[in-house]
Structure 1
Amino acid sequence: MKTSLVNTVWFSEKRKNLLLLLSEGTRDIEQIKKSLNVTTRAIMPQIKILKQQHLIGQKGENFSLTVAGEIIVKNMLPLLEMSRVIEENKDFWTSRNYEAIPPHLFNRLMELGHYFLIEPDINHLFELPREFTDNIPRSKSIMTFASYLHPTFPALYSEASGSVNDISLFLTVQAFEKLKNEYSSEFDRIMRSGNARIYLLNQNPKLPMITVTDWFGYICLFNEEGRYDHRDIISFDDSALKWCRELFESYRKDSEEVLR
């Protein structure tokens, strides 16, 4: 009975790992055995199957991907990366509200890379995490969207406005009015800094807060019930920073700058 490519690739970890290994370049059998920690007896049947499906080829002692194999692996990688991102914290990802994320970015969640899930203990539940407050001063460029104003927020950003190269704050009308009226000294310092811009969003994305700097990306999402449970994502990967910046560009199109 003919075996489908789906079964060939996904129903065997050895075959899948071999394809991924060969995507990095040609390997001989000894290199394959060492890299995959397998014996000749274990891997040769898998090599035979992949050769029969024309996914790998052999020239002398060396094995490499065929053109078909390269196409398969190229399309495998995004799914594998997406699976890794979700499986690392499945309970978190399967309980989030994603309405604030445009479809083209939702389909690229794997670009968050090697992220960390921050889950504060009950004694610090309503504090901004140290992973956030410690990394803001290290940053030279900051973009933040906030739908609510955390009490630590005004002082943190007014202080940062004196040392960073540029700050862009995207606020809901409610958050802006609270900053302007209840934290007037911090608001004035931010506006006078000369390197800060504040934008008002015409609509409120269903998102508590998101920040991206030249150093890290920080993402807060509501859960499925529309509540913020203080479980956040932070990533230092370049791909995550690019992903977050693209999200901000989508917000910028629906915002108006507050003039000094």
Structure 2
Amino acid sequence: MGKQLLDIIFSSEKRKRVLLLLQDGPKETNTLLRSLDTKRKSLLPQIKVLEDNNLVFHYKDTYELTSIGKVVVDKMSPLVDNIELFESDIDYWGTHRLDFVPAVLLKEMRQVKNCTILQPSLTELFELNRRFMEETYNSSHLCTVTTLFHPQFRDIYLKLVDSGVKISLIISDELFRKTKAEKYSDLKQIMNQKSVDIFVYNKPIKLASFSVNNHSLILRLLATEGQYDNRYLILEGQGAVNWGKEVFDYYLKESMPITEIQQA
């Protein structure tokens, strides 16, 4: 995409949004006006620029992408989605590790539309996110990848099991060894639950923790230098859930199931 074409698309928010709206098919002028919440005299000059550059054409009062426009929008749509996600808090995203998944999965974060960054106070550090937990109790399945356990992890997981939630848990090798040595009976009790599957990931996990239920996911990233950060992300919506399951499956492929443990 040449510089001139990039300028035409991205130097005007209206032009960019018109192209994205037309990605779903032809639209009448009034439909575009309502979607953009703008006036005709403000919109039509911007559409004229798109027409002059062979990105859009119109017949009667309907606008549609040209063949070139369709190719361009197919390429720009993922970029726009990712930009909008990272712009929600560019300082946070720019100071945290994003290499916990391969590049192809990172690009698919474009599926995520609703993202909130939360920072608990010192007195809230060990409190679970209430909304996420309520959604988890109303879910059929919880998938987690983690390098750390909550101090009351046994009680939390047992309560979820009692609520009928299936749990798939991937933990780092370091966490597995530490928990087996220091919390053997708790780990054993969790493993004995029929609706709990535990796996160990033997490679470095480049995030603190990650959990996805049927409604949302919670993600704790590491800072750029690998330090723990108590801030975390809540990502909501079906797109976030779909992406979360893809991330979990990525780790699951190289994880080893743990069916029994021996006390050291």
Query: TM over 0.5, yes or no?
Result: yes
Partner of 1:245: 245
Matched residue SS, 1:134: helix
- The CA RMSD over aligned residues, in Å, is 2.2
Q: Hey, what's the Cα distance between the residues in 1 that align with 2:180 and 2:156?
A: 15
Q: Hey, what's the Cα distance between the residues in 1 that align with 2:34 and 2:236?
A: 31
Q: Contact 1:19 / 1:65 at 8 angstroms: preserved in 2? A: yes
Q: Does 1:142 align with 2:152?
A: no
Q: Contact 2:119 / 2:231 at 8 angstroms: preserved in 1? A: yes
Which aligned segments of 4 or more residues in structure 1 are displaced greater than 6 angstroms? none
Between stretches 217-226 and 156-165, larger displacement belongs to 156-165
Report the Cα offset of residue 181 of structure 1.
Answer: 4.4
Q: Contact 1:154 / 1:179 at 8 angstroms: preserved in 2? A: no
2:51 maps to a residue whose letter is K
Partner of 2:196: 196
Partner of 2:100: 100
- Counting matched residue pairs gives 258
Report the Cα offset of residue 184 of structure 1.
Answer: 4.2
Q: Hey, what's the Cα distance between the residues in 1 that align with 2:161 and 2:31?
A: 53
Matched residue SS, 1:164: coil
Partner of 2:117: 117
CA separation of 1:75 and 1:184: change in aligned 2, threshold 3 A: same
**Superposition map of 1:162-201 within 5 A:** 162-201=162-201
Report the Cα offset of residue 82 of structure 1.
Answer: 0.6
Between stretches 72-81 and 126-135, larger displacement belongs to 126-135
Q: Deviations over 1:71-129 (max 9, x none)?
A: 22222211111111011111211110123221211222222221222211232134333
Report the Cα offset of residue 185 of structure 1.
Answer: 4.4
- Sequence identity of aligned pairs in percent? 29
Q: Deviations over 1:131-169 (max 9, x none)?
A: 444333222211112212220222101222233352111
**Under a length normalisation based on structure 1, what TM-score does the superposition of the two structures give?**
0.88
Matched residue SS, 1:14: helix
2:212 maps to a residue whose letter is V
Report the Cα offset of residue 47 of structure 1.
Answer: 2.6
Partner of 1:86: 86
CA separation of 1:9 and 1:141: change in aligned 2, threshold 3 A: same
Report the Cα offset of residue 222 of structure 1.
Answer: 0.4
Provide structure 2 residue ranges, at least 5 long, that are not aligned to the other structure. none
2:89 maps to a residue whose letter is N
Q: Contact 1:173 / 1:200 at 8 angstroms: preserved in 2? A: yes
CA separation of 1:255 and 1:47: change in aligned 2, threshold 3 A: closer
**Superposition map of 1:208-227 within 5 A:** 208-227=208-227
Matched residue SS, 2:46: helix
Q: Hey, what's the Cα distance between the residues in 2 that align with 1:29 and 1:140?
A: 44
2:20 maps to a residue whose letter is L
Q: Hey, what's the Cα distance between the residues in 1 that align with 2:197 and 2:31?
A: 55
CA separation of 1:184 and 1:162: change in aligned 2, threshold 3 A: farther
Provide structure 1 residue ranges, at least 5 long, that are not aligned to the other structure. none
Report the Cα offset of residue 203 of structure 1.
Answer: 1.7
**Superposition map of 1:47-86 within 5 A:** 47-86=47-86
Q: Hey, what's the Cα distance between the residues in 1 that align with 2:163 and 2:128?
A: 20
Matched residue SS, 2:47: helix
Partner of 1:4: 4
Q: Hey, what's the Cα distance between the residues in 2 that align with 1:36 and 1:236?
A: 24
Partner of 1:206: 206
